[in-house]
Structure 1
Amino acid sequence: MRILHTSDWHLGRSFHRESLIEGQAAFVDHLVETVRAERVDVVVVSGDVYDRALPPVDAVALCGEALRRLVATGVRTVMISGNHDSARRLGFGADLIDAAGVHLRTDPSRAWEPVVIDEVAFYGVPYLEPELVRGPWELPDRSHTAALAHAMTRVR
């Protein structure tokens, strides 16, 4: 199995008030071409898809285009939300999108449910905001270490 790992796309980022969307679109072109040329089976995107929780419309459009183009190559994609993403927004329609081969993992309560592709289990553990998971998971303290340790215990 050929896996391509990428992260921190930060779609919608600007630099000194100048949009970087053209450069980000060039990255998407390169990503799709690499997937084709290297016959990648799975693309893993480990968070920070967007630069902020409420991304600009052109960034959302570019993400949609990137995912459509990846699906068209036949590659499966596992994508998690990062600390810059709004997990609820990025995860919108995740159950429906799964059928297309794009597996969005943004819900902390599902962090230990694997995406199984050709008998390989991918655990899409999204960014775990300690304050949000402390209560429901009955964590001893509000820390990233406690949140991740709990999720990994459930994975194991």
Structure 2
Amino acid sequence: MLEFPLSQWAFVCAVAGAFVGLLVNIPMVTQDEGYLPAYVAAAGLTRADPTSVSRPLAVLVHHVTAVVAALLYGAVVAVLSFVLPTAISLNGVPLLPHVIGAAGVTAFVYFFFARIAMPRFGGSLQDRADEIVRQWALTAFIFGTALALFVPVLVTQI
């Protein structure tokens, strides 16, 4: 079981998501197609072509998505901590639920984009979809890894 009240755990996850979302900007802006998933996601919300989405909206959608993904990770960890062994923990975060939660959310973020967002909302970017999805795989992996490393550190500060 988690060693934190759910409200505190949700706060930790939201802060971690915001921080990791900022951190993930680095690989996204350094890859040729790296920031385009944020434009595709924003296009899905606005029903516009990704090339007509404004940069501020794409950035906002990216950062909100990072926080939501981290909250999803937190929910997975909280639920799994009731049913899986929690004897080993990282600063109060049960290890097995933590690893499964981070890996699960990483896979979900990748597959949701690759199988739903890009095919439905890629618009004029569809001809570059393979490259965009490949670079998104790297970004999703970095997000999940950074989240998995940052959460156990952040809980010691709260």
What's the TM-score, normalizing by structure 2? 0.26
More helix by share: 2
* Structure showing greater relative contact order (alpha-carbon pairs closer than 8 Å, 6 or more residues apart): 2
What's the TM-score, normalizing by structure 1? 0.27
